[in-house]
Amino acid sequence: MSDSEVQSKFVLQTAGFDARFPNTNQTRHCFQNYTDYFKCITAKGEDFAPCKQFKRAYNSLCPNEWISKWDEHRENGTFPASLEP
């Protein structure tokens, strides 16, 4: 497979600018997108396209270890934030 074929299959994007988080430390931005995603899918369902933007953003911003830890907390019912819409 040539480089051009590989490049055409994958499009890498990072989270866009969010005026609510103007500082370089993106920890809060990461957490907010994680919680917004689960609030969105609770309200609209997993097939609702705008919810996928939150998921792309938190996957781009958050360390994988944090996501795994938060997933465990959600499953155990000990997540520190409300995920109700």
Is residue 5 predicted with pLDDT exceeding 60? no
Taking the complete model, does pTM exceed 0.85, yes or no?
no
Q: For residues 7 and 25, what is the distance between their CA atoms, to the nearest angstrom?
A: 30
Whether the Cβ atoms of residue 82 and residue 36 lie closer than 8 Å to each other? no
Phi, psi of 79 (to 5 degrees): -65, 135
Q: For residues 47 and 25, what is the distance between their CA atoms, to the nearest angstrom?
A: 31
Q: For residues 20 and 70, what is the distance between their CA atoms, to the nearest angstrom?
A: 22
Give the pLDDT band of residue 2 (cuts 50, 70, 90): low
Q: For residues 51 and 54, what is the distance between their CA atoms, to the nearest angstrom?
A: 6
Segment 23-44 shows an average pLDDT of: 89
Average model confidence (pLDDT) for the chain?
84
Q: Which pLDDT score is estimated for 27? A: 87
Give the pLDDT band of residue 48 (cuts 50, 70, 90): very high
